[in-house]
Structure 1
Amino acid sequence: MSIGSNSPEDERPFHDVPDEKRPSVGHALKQARLAAGLTVSDVSNATRVRLAIVHAIEADDFAPCGGDVYARGHIRTLARAVHLDPAPLVAQFDADHGGRPAPTPAAPLFEAERIRPERRGPNWTAAMVAAIVVVIGFVGFTAVKGGDGGGADTQAADGSPSPTVTKSPSATPTTAKPVTPKSDPSDSAIAAAPQDKVTVQVSAANGRSWISAKDHNGRMLFDGLLDKGQSKTFQDSSKINLILGDAGAIQLYVNGKKIDDDFRPGAVERLTYTKGDPEVG
């Protein structure tokens, strides 16, 4: 049997009967359900009230409802589903369970609201007065200090000699150091060229170049880059072996003499120098 929305005339009134003959709320709901040809599952599906709660209410056990307010709501829902007027059933439930709770009187609430202390905001007037007092005190202190300074100025203006700071001349006059002219690389090379050794000075006069220098035993004396303007001097008892990565950027002085070979820029040169006159080995 389908359960839909029912018109008011479909709801059967709960006739007034003496209390001793009136069935309980749960029994009345169960009788109406059976009379309508409905099962508990039908009522549960139609009202969305769980099966366990429907069985408990029909057995007059309202504890699973979770309280009197929920119990009244379930009674109204189930009564409409089985075509009963819910008002007498709810009234009977209230009579069986001590009646409806008395509404909370509004007067105490208003009284509590009336006597509640008002929240006060910050006292801006007192704060402003305090700030003005601080400013006045600071101005007065500044004026007093300024008056003391003015007295000192007046005393100086009346003729009291004021100390003057004079710079005493230096006891020893400073004289500029003569600038020592830089010696030409060839001069230093000549001065540092002993006769019993081979001396080679490599100068990156025209640019940057990688160089490698070894003595007569093949021991590495230098292997790295020379930036423009840098120079290196190597000495050995008998022989210096050179590799120039960019020979065109290098100027050589061997045993105090400038080597005038025209090396091409970017050319790699392998050179060997010994004692005596510069000769490429």
Structure 2
Amino acid sequence: MSIGNSPEDERPFEDVSEEARPSVGRALKEARIAAGLTVNDVSSATRVRLAIVHAIEADDFAPCGGDVYARGHIRNLAKAVRLDPAPLLARFDAEHGGRPAPTPAAPLFEAERIRPERRGPNWTAAMVAAIVVVIGFVGFTAVKGGSDDTGAQGQIGEGSTPTAGTSAPPTPKSSKPADPTPAPSDSAIAAAPQDKVTVQVSADKGRSWISAKDHNGRMLFDGLLQKGESKTFQDSSKINLILGDAGAIQLYVNGKKIEDQFQPGAVERLTYTKGDPQVG
């Protein structure tokens, strides 16, 4: 019988220190790969741009635009790859100085207390200014009236004597103003040019995130379209669309309504060209 530690007691302890844990970005990336998802899949599901997803997985949070936005992106990405966001947010706060502290209420009340009282209008100064304006206007009118009378008398003396039978020349009638030309609107896409492709996206049934690019891949719009809003895009040959919630969108291509029955919540990638609507 031996005295001492058993072989099981001599096994090395598992390293569970903070340094051994994966970083926030690495944990998100490993979970995404384990779930069989691509960066495009995660970007479409969370509405987080591809560049920001790549940056977060590389532990670069500068493109997020601040710690508040970075925490929101981390929470959304963690849910998309089926991770608990709480440990990731705690690690992010520990590495970036913690969550911003709430503004104490006492200084706010103190600032409100020492705010100077609002004074009423100075009616005396206003009355003096009004009297000065009236006196000036009366004087200017008197001087101007005297000069006009002198000019009129000079004109009568120099010209021929007016006769009683002479009548004043008739006043010309003003021509009728032309009707204002109505400004063109986005709804008038029925007259879309034949040499271009025109696409109107209307959020008739609810809000939806949309992305639109031209044939060169240049971004025309990338954002959220609220219910009732619409956007019109035009290109010489092709428009590429991504609809975050296709069921909430109604499309009009080259003046024609697209009758495709998109499902609510479905993400659709569409391409339209010149001529009759053809889904690419």
Which TM class, normalised by the smaller chain length? 0.3 to 0.5
Q: Give TM-score scaled by structure 2 length.
A: 0.37
* Higher Rg: 1
